[in-house]
Chain A
Amino acid sequence: MQSAILQGLRVVDLTRIVAGPYTTRMLADFGAEVIKVQSAKMATGIESNTTPYFCAWNRNKRSITLDMDYSEARKIFLKLVKISDIVVENFSPRVMSNWDLDYATLKKSNAGLIMLSMSGAGQNGPWKDLVAYGPTVQSLGGLTYLTSYSQDAPMGFGYAYADMVSGLYGAISILAALEHRDRCGQGQYIDLSEYEAVCTTIGPALIDAGFNQNQIVPEGNEAEQRPGAPCGCYKCSGVDRWCVIAIFSEDEWQSLCSVLGNPAWSEEDKFSSLAGRKQHKEILDRHIGEWTAGQTAENVVDCLQQAGIAAGVVQNAEDLANDPQLAAGNFFTTLDHPVLGEIKTDTYPIRFKNCRQTPWKASPLLGEANQYVFRELLGMKKTTIRSYIEQGIIA
Chain B
Amino acid sequence: MKLSANRYGFLDGLRVLDLADETASFSTKLLADMGARVIKVEKPGGDASRNIGPLFKDISRSENSIPFFYSNTNKLGITLDLGHNEGKSIFSKLVPNTDVIVETFAPGELKRMGLNFEALSSLNPKLIWASVTGFGQNGPRRNFKVSDLVASAYGGQMYVCGSPSAPPLKSFGDQSYYAASLFAATAILLALRNRAKTGTGEHLDISLQASVTATLEHVMVRYFAEGIIFQRQESLHWNEGFVVLPCKDGFIHVTLFQKWETLVEWLATEGLAADLADEKWLDEGYRRQHLGHVITVLKKWTTAHTIKEIFETAQLMRFPWAPVRSPNEVCNSPQLKARKFFIERKYIGSGKTVNTPGSPYKTSSKIEARTHPAPMPGEHNELIYRQELGLSEKNLKLLYDCNVI
Partners in one complex: yes
Q: Which residues of A contact B (CB under 8 A)?
A: 2-3, 5-6, 18, 26, 30, 52-53, 56, 103, 120-127, 129-137, 139-149, 151, 154-161, 163-166, 168-169, 171-173, 175-180, 182-184, 186-197, 199-212, 214-216, 218-221, 223-226, 231-235, 240, 242-244, 246, 305, 308-321, 323-329, 331-332, 340, 343-346, 348-355
B215 within 8 A of A: yes
- Bound-state Cα–Cα, A267 to B57, Å: 36
14 A-B residue pairings within 8 Å (CB atoms): A26-B186, A131-B318, A146-B172, A158-B230, A175-B190, A184-B6, A190-B363, A193-B361, A205-B327, A207-B70, A214-B57, A219-B172, A233-B158, A312-B144
**Residue with the highest number of chain B CB atoms closer than 10 Å, among A135, A149, A344:** A135
Cβ-defined contact, A168 with B172, below 8 A? no
Cβ 8 A contact of A125, one of B57, B147, B161, B339? B339
Cβ 8 A contact of B145, one of A178, A310, A319? A310
- Inter-chain contacts of A182 with B (CB < 8 A): 196
Using known A-B contacts A155-B235, A180-B6, determine if residue A134 contacts B322 with beta carbons closer than 8 Å: no
Cβ-defined contact, A312 with B66, below 8 A? no
- Inter-chain contacts of B66 with A (CB < 8 A): 204, 207-208, 211
Cβ-defined contact, A312 with B322, below 8 A? no
- Bound-state Cα–Cα, A162 to B244, Å: 17
- Which residues in chain B, 303-343, are within 8 Å of chain A measured between CB atoms? 315, 318-331, 334-336, 338-339, 341-342
- Inter-chain contacts of A161 with B (CB < 8 A): 171, 175, 215, 217
- Inter-chain contacts of A210 with B (CB < 8 A): 331, 342, 354-355
- Inter-chain contacts of A186 with B (CB < 8 A): 3, 365
B135 within 8 A of A: yes
Cβ-defined contact, A350 with B169, below 8 A? no
- Bound-state Cα–Cα, A157 to B153, Å: 14
Cβ 8 A contact of B360, one of A169, A175, A215, A316? A169
Cβ-defined contact, A310 with B150, below 8 A? yes
Cβ-defined contact, B363 with A173, below 8 A? yes
Cβ-defined contact, A244 with B158, below 8 A? yes
Using known A-B contacts A154-B244, A160-B217, determine if residue A312 contacts B229 with beta carbons closer than 8 Å: no
**Residue with the highest number of chain B CB atoms closer than 10 Å, among A200, A311, A319:** A200
Using known A-B contacts A157-B161, A314-B158, A353-B202, determine if residue A197 contacts B52 with beta carbons closer than 8 Å: no
- Inter-chain contacts of B167 with A (CB < 8 A): 221, 232-235, 242
Cβ 8 A contact of A317, one of B70, B205, B220, B341? B220
- Bound-state Cα–Cα, A135 to B243, Å: 10
How many Å from the CB of B47 to the closest CB on chain A?
A: 14
Cβ 8 A contact of B334, one of A126, A177, A318, A331? A126
Using known A-B contacts A131-B320, A196-B339, A352-B191, determine if residue A176 contacts B34 with beta carbons closer than 8 Å: yes
How many Å from the CB of B254 to the closest CB on chain A?
A: 8
- Bound-state Cα–Cα, A225 to B348, Å: 22
Q: In the complex, which range does the number of interface residues on chain B fall in?
A: 35 or more
Cβ 8 A contact of B204, one of A176, A317, A351? A351
- Inter-chain contacts of A173 with B (CB < 8 A): 361, 363
- Bound-state Cα–Cα, A203 to B173, Å: 9
- Inter-chain contacts of A235 with B (CB < 8 A): 167
- Bound-state Cα–Cα, A309 to B146, Å: 9
Interface SS of A by simple majority: mixed
How many Å from the CB of A5 to the closest CB on chain B?
A: 5
Cβ-defined contact, A225 with B335, below 8 A? no
- Inter-chain contacts of B190 with A (CB < 8 A): 5-6, 30, 175, 350
Cβ 8 A contact of A131, one of B5, B140, B319, B325? B319
Cβ-defined contact, A172 with B362, below 8 A? no
Kindly specify which of B80-88, B176-184, B382-390 makes contact with the partner chain.
B176-184
Using known A-B contacts A158-B238, A179-B192, A325-B140, determine if residue A141 contacts B204 with beta carbons closer than 8 Å: no
B56 within 8 A of A: yes
Chain A residue at smallest Cβ distance from B143: A305
- Bound-state Cα–Cα, A57 to B153, Å: 24
Cβ-defined contact, A328 with B140, below 8 A? yes
B218 within 8 A of A: yes
Cβ-defined contact, B213 with A233, below 8 A? no
How many Å from the CB of B360 to the closest CB on chain A?
A: 4
- Bound-state Cα–Cα, A205 to B245, Å: 24
- Bound-state Cα–Cα, A275 to B304, Å: 44
- Bound-state Cα–Cα, A326 to B5, Å: 41
Cβ-defined contact, A206 with B330, below 8 A? yes
**Residue with the highest number of chain B CB atoms closer than 10 Å, among A143, A163, A183, A320:** A320
How many Å from the CB of A341 to the closest CB on chain B?
A: 11
How many Å from the CB of B380 to the closest CB on chain A?
A: 23
Using known A-B contacts A193-B361, A316-B229, A317-B220, determine if residue A171 contacts B186 with beta carbons closer than 8 Å: yes
- Inter-chain contacts of A168 with B (CB < 8 A): 179, 182-183, 186
Cβ-defined contact, A202 with B327, below 8 A? yes
- Inter-chain contacts of A125 with B (CB < 8 A): 334-335, 338-339
- Which residues in chain B, 61-84, are within 8 Å of chain A measured between CB atoms? 66-67, 69-71
**Residue with the highest number of chain B CB atoms closer than 10 Å, among A160, A211, A318, A323:** A211
How many Å from the CB of A234 to the closest CB on chain B?
A: 8
Cβ 8 A contact of B140, one of A200, A220, A324? A324
**Residue with the highest number of chain A CB atoms closer than 10 Å, among B54, B56, B139, B329:** B54
For the complex with contacts A52-B224, A178-B193, A325-B154, 5 further pairs of A-B residues with Cβ separation under 8 Å are A171-B186, A190-B361, A196-B341, A197-B360, A313-B154
Cβ-defined contact, A142 with B339, below 8 A? no
Cβ-defined contact, A200 with B357, below 8 A? yes
How many Å from the CB of A182 to the closest CB on chain B?
A: 7
